[in-house]
Structure 1
Amino acid sequence: MSDGLRSTSSLDEKEASLVEAQTTPATPEKIVWYRSTWYASIILGLCNFAAPGIWGAMNSLGAGGQATPFLVNASNALTFGLMVITAFLTSTITRYIGVRWTLFFGGAGYAPYAAGLYCNNRWSNEWFLLLGAALCGISAGTFWGIEAAVAMSYPEPKNAGKFLGVWLSFRVAGQILGGAINLGLSADRSTAGKVDPKVYLVFISIQAAGPFVAFLLPPPERVQRQDGIPVRLFVDTPILVELRETAKLFFTRRFLLIVPLITQAVFSESFNSTFLTLHFSVRARALGSFLSAVVCIIAGNLFGLLLDAKRWNLKTRARYAFLVAVVVLQGAWWTWSVVINEHYRKLGPTASIYDWKDTGFGKGFGSYLAIAAGFQLNYMFLYFVCGTLVTKPADVIRIGGLLRATESAAQAVSYGLNSLESFEGVGASALNFGLWAVALIPAWLVIRQIGVKYFGRAERDRREREALDRGVLFVEEDEPEERK
């Protein structure tokens, strides 16, 4: 059966290929729960919760919970700089050690970074924080790349948006845990400063155990989808060929045009963390960590329903999602942010630190929550878009790695800029506003072709399902403008 499902182009050794050890049954009589795509979404979510989710929990406390954000921002710039390299190499690494081991390796570097934050918080140790940031960067790039590939290839097309919503809900669930713990320990601290160091001990424990959850993920060849289409996520090409194919995909017109969209989507993370640290008390920061996660979970899952809405075709869903998440809401959030930061600039650094009992607290705190929600919606939209731009199984894992490498490069620059005291405030807010504006036209040139020229994996799976039903050989066609 696998020969009948494999593209004939995969037989050419000069071309990149993707094969599966064993395919799942075309129409399984009964789906085993621990091989279902919903089970996979939960396990992938738990992996995310224990690694980048807890990292996000620390980050959402404002600068990793430190009194000032500048050293932590510099360490994060180091992390994301290294992640550019390892995310780009994700497909090559997966070729040798497989999906689950790649996910395990990717999660292993997060605990040393949390330990570095603990040592810096308690003893002002700086070198261990930078070492932890480097170890996190080496491993996290592969984690980001492989989880992106899993998220785009495992679910049935009709459930892709809900899969993204469930998976990314676990990412922000780390913030709920972190915020709740810190809020309980810091509820009486109405001034600026560091968070309680006991918070980090909980984070370190979770992140140390997190990598082992990866072994609960069903491997691609054992996943049972409702539509009976097997999941292919095993790279079987020489290293140099794989690197060449990944680079070619990056330089396609359709990917280059969404690079500004990716950049503006993730550039806000360091800004929002710095903003929270500089303008709010310790307990307000803990409240921000908790509430932003709740807002993100609600907004993300509602957005997932829009992405999966059956009343609209793919073209309409792509355009509505772009209009709502990127054009209208993101533009409104950054306009609000520029106004608030200009107001804080006029007040001065000491007068613009707010506790939740202070008058004027809600204006800036609301801006923080809105930008956090915008980050979640834009994040989900990026996966939706990238999932429509490729159809070949090999390109799914490649575009996942490229998406995360591009994100990492943007965040390395963002955290580097926000490590400069002279950059914080209205200048950083205005830069984010400018990046949003610049991204709109290039992104639209791609978005308007979704459902017209780009159909992604859904169309490929439909053709394969038809071939299975007819009992004929499925031959994969070239993608539109595949190398242009």
Structure 2
Amino acid sequence: MADEKRNEVTSGPATEVQRDSDAHSDVYVDRPNGWIYRGFKFRGKEIWYASPTIQLLMVSLVCFMCPGMFNALSGLGGGGQVDARAQQYANTALYGVFAVVGFFSGTIANVLGLRLTLSFGGLGYALYAASFLAYNHIQSFAFVVFAGCFLGVCAGLLWTAQGAIMMSYPPEKLKGRYISWFWVIFNMGGVIGSLIPLAQNINKTSGAVTDGTYAGLIVLMFIGLVLAMFLVNADKVIREDGTKVILMKSPSWKTEFIGLWETLYRDPWIILLFPMFFASNIFYTYQTNGVNAIMFNIRTRSLNGLLYWLSQIVGAIVFGYALDFPNVRRSLRAKISFAVLVALTMGIWGGGYAWQSKQVSRAEASTDEYKANHLVDWTDGGENYIGPMFLYFFYGFYDAVWQTCMYWYMGALSNSGRKAANLAGFYKGLQSLGACIFFALDSQKISYDTLFTITWAILGASLVVGAPVILTRIKDTVSVEEDLKFSDETIEDVVVGIDDKRAGTA
């Protein structure tokens, strides 16, 4: 039995073992007697609490409650405040800290475990929302900025744990699907979270959002961090085919630095993806503060936020499943998806340019007279609202497409847990750096015409720079031997055979 298992191949960034058959096939194993391994039937398949399916669902729900509610709050523009400066300063601090922590949070996650890492990450989201509730009464910039810094640490940890789980469980042929499932549940947080301010402010056309809006978001975020405490750590997870999910570990700061350096030294072409990493969050600043916050009244901003996150779900489903389409080779799917991404960048942002060129200046939009008499309401209809509404909807769709494609591209480049973790670290670090810089630019009150132009230019340029990697480096499959060609590890290090009687041993 051990020899048979040794000949199995690994699949997925965490370098786990699975049979060549469908990773979700029901193969009975003699699991331990603990309640976390007690199986139950769901749609004809046996699953258990410590199975990847349940654990991925729980992680998705944690992100639904915490980052999802954060997205709902951010989608209001200005954090729901009339004056967006508080959010500008808070988010500049948030993403600045996130950019640093994101590179090295894997080490902390390995010490704390995924369960505590996710739960601690949720604490920062609740404090961030609480700081805006306090701002409604005491206008404390210091508290908001501190909450942003603290959330930068927490978000780096939460997204590291989330990425480790999402990218380590699926086999090659299901990576896009897993990403889309997570993205749908996660963005349902933005949808549900947007319903709260919409209901709270349904009859309100001016001023900041109500205290009840912030209170509702805080409660949901707190539930999310508590839910994270009920996860099991990766070493307890048993797959449906009886194999254990093995997560690569970086037990010290030294190995973390070495791993980052080796990724660049051995595969320098990865640098060509860095502009796309950097660009992956920069558009939020213009979309939330330059479109939603400055052009619409408070209840319309709430409705726009709801539509934005609904469009993310549509984009994730469409592209997640399309990227796994079995009748087209993976290398060809990469080329087709890249061509569609280029077309969407030109089409959607081209429409955005046509709209932005007709808007008033930032200075005029900031006057009390404009805020009192010219903010758009959903009852205005026609060219005043329907056109901008669809534009904002497609901005959200574009965000989901970009993020889904980026995660899929990274997962398609390697099945090595170490390389995938390093790519994810670079991705989150550079992504946060981009967001930090653009929120800082916004705090300096540059014109929204300029902010739009810079955003669109960087998106287009990053596609040009990253094209050689996506078009030439993504192959139909990546073998274990190829992943280990330049590594000190051997197949024996990463392929773990498990006897049926020991399949559930932690």
Q: TM-score range with shorter-chain normalisation?
A: 0.7 to 0.9
Q: Aligned in 2, Cα 1:389/1:451: closer, same or farther, shift over 3 Å?
A: closer
Mapped to 1, the partners of 2:401 and 2:97 lie a distance apart of: 26
* 1:429 aligned residue: 452
Quote the offset at 1:69 in angstroms: 1.8
1:400 is matched with which residue?
424
Corresponding residue pairs, total: 453
Per-residue deviation, residues 332-360 of structure 1 (Å, max 9, x unmatched) = 12111122111013795227621112242
Distance (Å, rounded) in 2 between the aligned partners of 1:473 and 1:397:
19
| Secondary structure in 2 matching 1:145 | helix
Residues 92 and 243 in structure 1, CA contact (< 8 A), matched pair in contact too: no
Is residue 2:85 matched to residue 1:63?
Answer: no
Is the CA contact (8 Å cut-off) linking 1:180 and 1:286 kept in structure 2?
Answer: yes
Following TM superposition, by how much is the alpha carbon of 1:107 offset from its aligned partner in structure 2, in angstroms? 2.1
1:353 counterpart (375, 388, 410): 375
Q: In structure 1, what is the equivalent of residue 165 of structure 2?
A: 150
Q: Distance in 1 between matches of 2:4 and 2:493?
A: 10
Q: In the alignment, is residue 299 of structure 1 matched against residue 315 of structure 2?
A: yes
Q: Distance in 2 between matches of 1:339 and 1:102?
A: 44
Shift of 1:250: 4.7
Give deviations 1:417-461, integer Å, cap 9, x for gaps: 1222233x2111111110112112221111012443x845xx449
Residue among 224, 236, 253 paired with 1:239? 253
Q: Which moved more, 1:234-243 or 1:118-127?
A: 234-243
Q: C-alpha deviations, 1:149-195, integer Å up to 9, x for none?
A: 2211112322221211121122221221222111112112234x311
Confirm whether residue 371 of structure 1 aligns to residue 386 of structure 2: no
- Residue number in structure 2 paired with 1:111: 126
Structure 1 counterpart of 2:414, from 376, 382, 390: 390
Letter in 2 for 1:295: S
Verify: 1:449 aligned to 2:449, yes or no.
Answer: no
Which segments of 5 or more consecutive residues in structure 1 lack a partner in the other structure? 8-17, 465-471, 478-484
Matched with 1:29 is 28
SS for the counterpart of 2:218 is: helix
**Tell me, what secondary structure is at the counterpart of 1:310?**
coil
Output the CA distance in 2 between the equivalents of 1:229 and 1:318.
30
Q: Residue 208 of structure 2 is aligned with which of 194, 197, 216?
A: 194
CA 1:449–1:146: 2 relative to 1, 3 Å: farther
2:378 partner SS: coil
Counterparts in 2 of 1:38-437, with a 5 A limit? 38-191=53-206, 193-226=207-240, 230-250=244-264, 252-274=267-289, 275-324=291-340, 326-345=341-360, 348-349=364-365, 350=370, 353-358=375-380, 359=382, 360-423=384-447, 425-437=448-460
Deviations 1:78-137 (Å, cap 9, x if unpaired)? Answer: 001001121111221123222222222222211111110111123322221111111111
The corresponding residue for 1:480 is none
2: distance between equivalents of 1:338 and 1:262?
A: 23
- Residues in 1 aligned to 2:66 and 2:467: alpha-carbon distance in whole angstroms: 33
Q: CA deviation at 1:5?
A: 5.7
The equivalent of 1:10 in structure 2 is none
Q: Closer, same or farther in 2 for the Cα pair 1:108/1:442, shift >3 Å?
A: same
Instruction: Work out the CA distance in 2 between the residues paired with 1:85 and 1:263.
Output: 14
C-alpha contact 1:148 1:401 (8 A) present in aligned 2: no
1:402 partner amino acid: F
C-alpha deviation, 1:226, in angstroms: 4.9
CA contact 2:413–2:474 (8 Å) conserved in 1: no
Q: 1:224 to 1:259 in 2, by over 3 A?
A: same
The answer to which of 75-84 and 209-218 deviates more is: 209-218
User: AA paired with 1:163?
Assistant: Y
Opposite residue 433 of structure 1, the aligned amino acid is: W
- Show the counterpart of 2:19: none
CA distance in 1 between partners of 2:491 and 2:110 (Å): 26
CA–CA separation in structure 1 for the residues paired with 2:280 and 2:355: 20
**AA in 2 matched with 1:161:** G
- Deviations 1:186-220 (Å, cap 9, x if unpaired)? 112234x3111210001111212322322333432
Amino acid in structure 2 at the alignment position of 1:80? Y
Match of 1:59, as an amino acid?
S
3-state DSSP class of the match of 1:109?
helix
8 Å Cα contact 1:156-1:227 kept in structure 2: no
CA separation of 1:165 and 1:70: change in aligned 2, threshold 3 A = same
Alpha carbons of 1:473 and 1:439: their partners in 2 closer, same or farther (altered >3 Å)?
closer
8 Å CA contact 2:68–2:193 kept in 1: the answer is no
The CA RMSD over aligned residues, in Å, is 3.2
CA contact (8 A) 2:77 2:293 kept: yes
Q: Which amino acid aligns with 1:174?
A: G
C-alpha contact (below 8 Å) 2:104/2:425 kept by paired residues? yes
The separation in 1 between residues aligned to 2:459 and 2:65, in whole angstroms, is: 31
* 8 Å CA contact retained: 2:60, 2:185: yes
Q: Say whether the 8 Å CA contact 1:61–1:289 is kept in structure 2.
A: yes
Distance 1:25 1:412 in 2: 40
Q: 1:43 to 1:462 in 2, by over 3 A?
A: farther
- Deviation digits for residues 286-339 of structure 1, max 9, x if unmatched? 101111111111221111111111111110111122222x20112212111122
Identity among equivalent positions (%) equals 21
The alpha-carbon deviation at position 26 of structure 1 amounts to 12
